[in-house]
Amino acid sequence: MSISDAHDRVFKALSAAVRRQILDDLRDQPLTTGTLCTHFPDLDRCTVMQHLKVLEEADLVIVVRRGRERWNHLNPLPIHEIHERWIGPHAARAVAMLGRLKADLER
């Protein structure tokens, strides 16, 4: 898989509010799939599992099976790569432009 394909999968995974909420829920600690399902009472277990599959395919969630339990761990590295590739450079450029604008206005 190319780096472009990997980034596309991350952006697709982040496009859904439910998946972003799952990642937020996993930020501090890994959770079982059953526990995650209780966080979304309006969704059935199958739907939550489908969202987890998209996150796993994007490498945003790492699954560890322990007996009958499926533990979901956040993998923040793909998000960090997106930040380093797009957000960081664009933000730095925007800040530099704002700094120049401020200096021009103060003259």
DSSP string for 21-72 = HHHHHHSSS-EEHHHHHHT-TTS-HHHHHHHHHHHHHTTSEEEEEETTEEEE
How many C-beta atoms lie closer than 10 Å to residue 66's C-beta?
Answer: 8
Residue pointed to by tokens 């450079």: 89
Domains and CATH numbers, the chain: 3-76 (1.10.10.10)
For the residues 86-103, what does the mean pLDDT come to? 80
**In this predicted structure, what is the pLDDT of residue 44?**
96
Tokens at 37, concatenated: 């399902």
* Stronger pLDDT, 106 or 42, i.e. the higher one: 42
Q: How confident is the model at residue 83 (pLDDT cuts 50, 70, 90)?
A: confident
